[in-house]
Structure formats: C-alpha cells, structure tokens
Amino acid sequence: MNLPDTSRATQGINFNEPLLFERKPGHCSGASLPAPEVPEVEPSSEIPKEYLRGQVEGMPCLYEPEVVRHYLRLSQLNYGVDTGFYPLGSCTMKYNPKSAEAAARLPGFANLHPLLPDERVQGALELMWRLERMLSEISGFAAVTLQPAAGAQGELAGLMMVRAYHLAKGKPRHKVLVPDSAHGTNPASSALNGFEVVELKSGPEGLLEPQVVAAAMTEDVAAVMMTNPNTLGVFEKNVAEIAKVVHAKGGLLYGDGANMNALLGRSRPGDMGVDVMQFNLHKTFATPHGGGGPGSGPVGVAKELVPFLPVPVVVKDGDKFRLEFDRPQTIGQLRTFWGNFGIMVRAYAWVREMGPAGLKSTSDLAVLNANYVRALLKDDFHLPYATPSLHEVVLNDKNQKDLGVTTMDIAKRLIDHGYHPPTIYFPLIVAGAMMIEPTETESRESIEAFVAAMKAIAVEAKESPEALKAAPTRAFRERLDEVKAARKPILRWKPGTKIEP
C-alpha cells in the first residue's frame, strides 16, 4: 500500500536546555532602571532585619534576551488549537475567533476593577445580564448564574442548589445516581456535597435506560446526573422519560452540559425536563482553554431552583443594572468577585457573532465532522457502539490488540505525525477508548489529513507493530514512564542527564 507521508512534524530546531536556575550562577542584573530621583537609603535602616532577604542562593546571571528566548521557547513547546488540529474528545477544542479576543481586550473591559460601584460598571453588568439571558434562551432554563470558574465548579454549584432545595422542603436527601459513562467530575461533585454516589449501568446501546433509573430511584435520591449527548457522543434518547421517573419521586435531574456543542440551536435540555445544568463556556462558547487558563462554568436552573442561585445576582431595574446580594435562600458566594469576566466577554461576542442561525450551523457542522471521521475510520479501527454519533466518535484498539498495539501506542505515534492525540482510555466503559472530537471549526482538508495519519498508523500496526512501541520518535521527549513521571517527576533536568524512560 502506498500511503503519502502524512507527517507534518520535523526534527526542526529543537533546543535541549536547562532551567534558568540551572544556568550560570552569579550576580548580575537584566534590568536597566533610570537613576532614582530621591536619595538612596540603606534598606536595613528602614526595614526590620528579619524581613530583609539576602542574596538568593543559586540565582542565575541572565540578561534580558536570554530570559525572553527561554520563555518564548517554552511557549513554543506548547501545542494549542492555534498550532494545529486538536481532537481531544469531550473538550471541544474549537478555534477561538480573534474578534472575541479583541472584544475582551477593550480597555473598558480589560481594565475594570471588580470593586467599582455598580453605577460605574453599567456596561459590564449589562453584558453579564444579557449573556445570562442568551444562555437561558439557548438551553431552556429560567435563570443562569455566571459565577462558577469551570465546569467542575458549575457541577458543585448545581448540586449545592439541589441540596439546598431538598433542605428547604424539610427533607434532606442523601444519594445521587450517576451513570457509569459519566465524567469523573460528576461523582466528585456529588461526594463533595456529602452525597452518596450510586453508579448506574449503561445499556447495550450505551444509553441510560428508564427502567435502570426507576429501579434505583427512591425518595432518598436527591438527583440523577446525566450527560447529553453522553461521553460516547451519543444522544440520550430516553432523557424526557427519565426526567418523569426522577420527578415522580421528588428528585431533580442534573444535566452535565459539557457536550452542548452537539445541541446548540437544535434542542434545549430545559425542554427535556433537565432541572439544572452547567455550561462550559471554554468548550462550547469558543473561549480559550487548556494549559490551566481561566474557564467559566455558568449554571442554568429551572424556576424552582432560582431562589438558591449564588450571589451576587445581576438584576435589571428599569434601565439600570445592579448586583444583588440580599437573597435569603442563596447558597452563598462561590468565587472571588463575580466570575471570570474576560471569558464572559468572549462568549458574549461569539454568540452575537454567530446569531441563532450560526449556533444551529455550529452544532450541524460539529456533528457532520465527527460523522465524517467515523465513516472514514470505521474500517480501520473498531467502533464499540454502533449507536449513531453526534459531535464525537469513540473508537478503540480492538482491531490492533492482537498485533500487540494499544491505544497508547497509537496516541504516541499521532504525535510523530504532528497531531495532538484524542482523549484516550475515556469513557471508562470502553476498553482502550479513543474519543475523537473534531469540532465544527476544522476544514475538510484538515480532517482528511488527520484521518490519513490514523490510517497510516493502522497500516504500521500491521506491518511493524514493534516500531510503534518506540513512538514518539520525533517529539521533544521520548515516551516516558507515565506512572513514574507522575510519582517521581524530575523537575530539575541537568545538562548531560539522561532521563530514564
């Protein structure tokens, strides 16, 4: 078989360099400050001795260009969605338009002090108020809070409201039901709220079945958590029926909204009977993520949960906006100030740019792209669930297992081809899972180039499986022992030290 060389990665200019602290020690300064206009004083005459720091041991001698180059090169070791195709399933690594960046950088937004009085920040409050209404409209909820800083904190907030709701009725409940395909944050958020987590088994189609929920549903169950589409990328077609089962016993249905990219403009979780759901603005609403940057996990609620929303709530009185703190049933404030405001500006700009028709075509294209990947790869890689895919497709290594090739080997070889690997070994109900989410922002060409790399790896698995064990060979680092790297990380690499695999 004659496959093109699909690799876009080259050896290029790779620097192997020590950390700054491992460089030449000595005393020098990279800064050149003008002479002070006030007389110099001896610090020890003004500051008590115990607060004065002497020389820092091992402080390297570095000049400005050396520091700039070091940090620029570090930044270039990073792979981001602006670098290339990033099919990390469940994370919706879509392109973030630079117009939204420009909006977030407007001085009137970027330089705001969070403690300015309401009358001085009317524009910012109006933006928050409008974004809350947009998200409510898109998802079918009565109200939205923008406060949580990530999806996981949104889940925490949502379940705090669930707990407060049952407490207010005088009947505290103790259990939350979570399907076995759920993201790990679902049981974690439940446990952090003091709930006992009960796992529900998915059916043969990878779906949660109403009779499974009914069998576990008692008057001690506070909520059932569902992700729709779920982490297999398939639509939970029983959600409305499950909502009825849960509500009949006085429970609430929590929706994990991380996968809203498949539903935007098409269907609304609130209409399906979901009572509370977190959004991940940094996934669905085109704001940057990865690398530990700020996120935003707004929570939408049905009307019976509105009294419990975190404070402050943005309120509109006539044509004025204000932050309201005095709400007797609130779960309280979850975060410093009012949330990650810069992320809200980006999301607002993106929704305005898309408009209703644009949101609809976002989900249409996201689903089309995932199904294109599925159609092109289904003969090379095993598809564990035949249920139709929405915005992502889960494959696994079953076809390669007998050749001794695993999902890990495939993921590592993708790096040699110049791609960020997909999410692997998740969801846990699929052995050797590879979860591919191309998103709507990839062109047909970039999807086909990625597919060509995957096909080349499938061929390599047949022809020289042992070679795959050495992957990656073109990356900055060879394959590391991941357990050892996590347990005994070598944080101070020294020139000449060989890092043991």
Kindly list the residues in this chain that would bind ligand PLP in the complex (CB under 6 A). 90, 150-152, 183, 185, 227, 231, 256, 258, 280, 295, 297
Instruction: State which residue, 152 or 159, has the beta carbon closest to ligand PLP.
Output: 152
CB 6 within 8 A of CB 415: no
Q: Are strands 276-278 and 299-301 parallel, antiparallel or unpaired?
A: antiparallel
Question: Hey, what are 443's tokens?
Answer: 């062109």
Burial label, 446 (beta-carbon count in 10 A; 0-12, 13-18, 19+):
middle
State the nearest-atom distance from the C-beta of 256 to ligand PLP, in Å.
5
Instruction: State which residue, 254 or 321, has the beta carbon closest to ligand PLP.
Output: 254
State the nearest-atom distance from the C-beta of 176 to ligand PLP, in Å.
14
State the nearest-atom distance from the C-beta of 192 to ligand PLP, in Å.
13
Burial label, 311 (beta-carbon count in 10 A; 0-12, 13-18, 19+):
middle
Give the span between the Cα atoms of 67 and 70, in whole angstroms: 5
H helices present in 274-406, as ranges = 281-284, 341-377, 398-401
The label of the residue with tokens 């929590």 reads 254
Instruction: State which residue, 229 or 432, has the beta carbon closest to ligand PLP.
Output: 229
Instruction: State which residue, 250 or 384, has the beta carbon closest to ligand PLP.
Output: 384
Give the span between the Cα atoms of 122 and 106, in whole angstroms: 15
Give, rounded to a whole angstrom, the gap between the first and last alpha carbons of the chain. Answer: 33
State the nearest-atom distance from the C-beta of 452 to ligand PLP, in Å.
27
State the nearest-atom distance from the C-beta of 151 to ligand PLP, in Å.
2
Instruction: State which residue, 287 or 330, has the beta carbon closest to ligand PLP.
Output: 287
CB 239 within 8 A of CB 228: yes
Instruction: State which residue, 132 or 256, has the beta carbon closest to ligand PLP.
Output: 256
Instruction: State which residue, 156 or 471, has the beta carbon closest to ligand PLP.
Output: 156
State the nearest-atom distance from the C-beta of 11 to ligand PLP, in Å.
34
Closest chain position to ligand PLP (CB): 151
State the nearest-atom distance from the C-beta of 56 to ligand PLP, in Å.
36
500 DSSP assignment: P
CB 313 within 8 A of CB 323: yes
From residue 451, alpha-carbon distances to 100, 165, 305, 380, 419 in Å are: 30, 48, 45, 10, 11
State the nearest-atom distance from the C-beta of 293 to ligand PLP, in Å.
11
Instruction: State which residue, 6 or 231, has the beta carbon closest to ligand PLP.
Output: 231
CB 409 within 8 A of CB 473: no
